[in-house]
Homo-oligomer: A and B are copies of this chain.
Amino acid sequence: MSRIVEITELALRDAHQSLLATRMSLDDMIPACEDIDNAGYWSVECWGGATFDSCIRFLNEDPWERLRTLRKLMPKSRLQMLLRGQNLLGYRHYEDGVVERFVEKAAANGIDVFRIFDALNDIRNLKTSIDAVKKTGKHAQGAICYTVSPLHTIEAYAERSEQLKEMGCDSICIKDMAALLRPQPAYDLVKAIKKRCGNETLLHVHTHATTGVTMVSLMKAIEAGCDIVDTAVSSLSLGPGHNPTESLVELLEGTGYETRVKLDRVQRISNHFAQIRPRYKEFFSENVGVDTEIFKSQIPGGMISNMESQLKGQGAGDRLKEVLEEVPRVRKDSGYPPLVTPTSQIVGSQAVFNVLMGKYKVLTGEFADLMLGYYGSTLGKKDPEVLKQAEAHAKKPAITVRPADLLKPEWENLSATANALKGANGSDEDVLTYAMFPKVALAFFESRAQGRKNVGKDPSAKAAEVKAESKAPAAAAGGAALRGKVNYVITLNGKEHRVSVAAEK
């Protein structure tokens, strides 16, 4: 008798976020929905901060409408989203009323499983959303960001898991966004959490493929009793993305574990995205192989390139090594935050400043906030000297309360402002869109009526485009080129584009 291992398919959210800069249009998802709905997945991840942002910023697509469409097209599936706790899908703490409203609306529009995490693993930042999910009757999954530090022991994670369970979470997720989770810790973590929380506690492992070790980690997690793992169909897998669904299913053969996933369906989904993917070539992540440097530096690749460009901007491109050595010290001083957005940027920038200006001679506002508890609490203690400097810099005291406790009700204000915007439709969903991304929402509401935009380019259409572009202006070329700008209407694949042409500066 085999034990069943369940699978969450990431193709519609994290996979294209990791591989195609979150640019996939709903139009390219729709043809795969029937197969996804019938493939036997435990859940289908399809919504989150970056997909929401990308919808309104790049795709002129209403993210709520995307959700409703996916809901309609996948009636049998659990739809899953990633929620940043008190930050929701935005970059600041929201007042509880907004959090509650958001969860209610997400559930009403189609979300079944809410995976909720906080960058600092401060569970107080998860409480309001967990409670709100429970109120809707949906599945609340508490996620813990996996990181490596002297304080992040197996026992510390197990303890945090137990707290999440006590807060009412229906399942626990180990969220390994940097592919740092090696096989042995994966095994030990799952064992420890199951022991502490009870064997019946549903345990989910999320990991990326970046370092090339995590397929083995998934196997070890499964051997230790993990119930659900995250994968993506092979055509949207690997590199900074995830382990391939088909491979996970195949490798379990004969092991005493099996999935419910139907490989013929998965193959069809994969074939669909294999056809779609080349259209998004310009958004491809350049890093498609394996990167194990992060094990050595403990610093995510994206963070290193950020720091590099900061240094170059200061004419100090040769001091990266010093900065890389400074990062662990800054991290220690600030209580060992996991290095994920936004803490990776905050710690990285401060390390750059320390190297260029002298140790904590200059503090960034964000670093001061992190030191003073305005993002939440960290597992480690803050360095008292640096803490004093942060107070002096920010001219405000350190806090120990939950950051959102300091916020005043804001729904009425948000609502009034949002509803007054041109193109806003008066729904709570629009208010929430505005609340998440005020500037982007403003532009989106105005252009929404023009319908969604697919930024993926059919290679054959692209060839036609180049031809059309080179044909049209050629007619009026010579004279206009010297005058400046000419406006054309170009018909490309039956769709009209307004094109303005100017001579190169």
Contact = CB atoms under 8 A, between A and B. Distances in A.
A488 B474 contact: no
A251 B462 CA distance: 42
- Chain copies in complex: 2
A473 interface: yes
A502 interface: yes
A470 B499 contact: yes
A290 B182 contact: no
A238 to B, nearest CB: 6
A474 B502 contact: yes
Contacts of A487: 504
A112 B211 CA distance: 32
Interface in A244-263: 244, 246-247, 250-251, 253-255, 263
A488 B471 contact: no
B469 A477 contact: no
**Residue of A219, A251, A469 with highest tally of chain B CB at under 10 A:** A251
A489 B502 contact: yes
A234 B292 contact: yes
Interface in A449-505: 453, 466, 469-471, 473-474, 477-478, 481-482, 486-493, 497-505
Contacts of A250: 182, 211-213, 292, 295
A234 B289 contact: yes
A212 B215 contact: yes
A223 B211 CA distance: 21
Interface residues of A toward B: which range? 35 or more
Contacts of A267: 293
A237 B491 CA distance: 33
Interface string A181-222: 011110000000000000000000000000111011101000
A235 B505 CA distance: 40
A291 interface: yes
A128 interface: no
B486 A244 contact: no
Given A469-B501, A501-B477, A502-B489, A289 B235 contact: yes
Interface in A295-348: 295-296
A159 B503 CA distance: 71
A243 interface: yes
A488 B476 CA distance: 13
Interface in A217-240: 217, 219, 234-235, 237-238
A288 interface: yes
A490 B469 contact: yes
Contacts of A237: 212, 289-290
A263 to B, nearest CB: 7
Nearest to A249: B292
Contact of A247 (B288, B290, B488, B490): B290
**Residue of A212, A263, A489, A492 with highest tally of chain B CB at under 10 A:** A212
A217 B237 CA distance: 19
A477 B498 CA distance: 15
Nearest to A486: B481
A82 B235 CA distance: 32
A471 B219 contact: no
A184 B212 CA distance: 20
A178 to B, nearest CB: 13
A267 B235 CA distance: 28
A183 B251 CA distance: 6
A288 B290 contact: no
A234 B295 CA distance: 14
Nearest to A212: B247
A499 B238 contact: no
Nearest to A263: B296
Contact of A238 (B238, B255, B469): B238
22 contacts: A182-B250, A182-B253, A183-B219, A185-B254, A212-B237, A212-B251, A215-B215, A215-B216, A219-B219, A237-B290, A470-B504, A471-B504, A473-B488, A474-B504, A477-B482, A477-B501, A478-B482, A481-B481, A488-B501, A488-B504, A489-B503, A498-B504
Interface of A: 182-185, 211-213, 215-217, 219, 234-235, 237-238, 243-244, 246-247, 250-251, 253-255, 263, 267, 288-293, 295-296, 453, 466, 469-471, 473-474, 477-478, 481-482, 486-493, 497-505
Given A488-B502, A490-B501, 4 more contacts: A184-B253, A212-B250, A267-B293, A470-B504
